[in-house]
Amino acid sequence: MKTTMISLLVATLVCGCSCKTAFGQTPGKPFGTAKTKAVELTVTGMTCQGCADHVSQALSKHDGILKSDIHFASNSTSVTYDPAKTNETEIIQTIASAGYKAESHGTQAKELEGKDAKANTKSNGLLSFYQVPLVCAAVPSIGCGSRAKPVLSDFENSPAIEEAWLNRSGTVIAVVWKIGTDQKNQQLIASTIFNRHQLNATQLLMDEYALNNESFQKKENWLRGLDINKLSKEEASIMADRLLKSIKEKTKLNSLNEQKLRDKINTSFYDLFVNYQSLSELSDPQVYKAKLADIISFGDGLLGPNNMPSLETLWSVCSSDKKDCNHEGCKGATCSQPNTTTTTPSCCAPKKTN
């Protein structure tokens, strides 16, 4: 995934272009003879001519727009359109799909009033996407629910935010801002929360914005609130399967004891991932070893003393730096072959050497 790294406190866009003029204009569209309307819009987020051209290109593809003059220096645009084919709300949504926030001078607030206002916040520019490193280390095909949950909760506790979502792969957070939250406050709030949780976040714009917005509007593989626990449940289940496989290599299990032991492992780790007291627990080897010791004790009760593998054996499975990487862009790789694609975050770090 191509991303433009930004400082959330300083700027939202960094465009690689040369600013030759102060406006962009849609080329070659005739006006025709039908009755037309014009609207003046404020467009925030443009910093150079390339941004203006990007907005202009998006508007030129919108059926019913006859002409648009975009001025990045004044963050404004004038759009002439055929009211029989489109309206101000659709024009604003088109600009939002290009990654910029647009508001009309007085008309937009009225159009967003009523029962449809909340639905429109997801497509009128009050939606931000941030790339985040929340891929699950043990199961890199999914996001880390235990790590993501406090971040999303922090966002939703902000009075300026309607909703916060994580995509299933743990690579992107979507934030739905309340109407009236300006860009400066959005940057400040997001920066404060990401810094508090020690996360390096990159705001996604233009093509990456459009790609994520498409799946977000359909709610394809996006989670929010208690649904985040589904990721923790899946992680615990996969870890249970790994540990059970190692145990079966060392000792014989009948089907009943196998199921009981798997349930114990699954419950132990799910409880840790969902009910931890602090994030330090999730990275503390002693916490995991205590869980494993409890699992061994439970297994000894099923199989008899000393029939379970040692703590060291199970810990090596739990902390292995050779975990499979099954998500797109990292299939078949291991931590000795870290993912180097730009479209997917690295599923595992290179093995450390002394």
pLDDT tens figures, 259-297: 999 999 899 888 888 887 677 777 788 888 888 889 888
Q: Tell me the pTM.
A: 0.56
Query: Do the bridges between strand 101-104 and strand 172-177 make them parallel or antiparallel, or are there none, so unpaired?
Result: unpaired
CATH 3.30.70.100 domain range(s) in the chain: 24-117, 127-223
Question: 127-223 has which CATH code?
Answer: 3.30.70.100
In the numeric block, which tokens belong to residue 131?
A: 């790339």
CATH code at 24-117: 3.30.70.100
- Residue 47 binned pLDDT confidence (cut-offs 50, 70, 90): low
Cβ distance 127 to 183 under 8 Å? no
Q: Which two three-digit tokens encode residue 114?
A: 């009523």
**In the prediction, which pLDDT does 320 show?**
55
pLDDT score at 117: 40
> What is the C-alpha separation between 92 and 123, in angstroms, rounded?
9
Q: How high is the mean pLDDT of the chain?
A: 74
pLDDT-based confidence at 191, cuts 50/70/90? very high
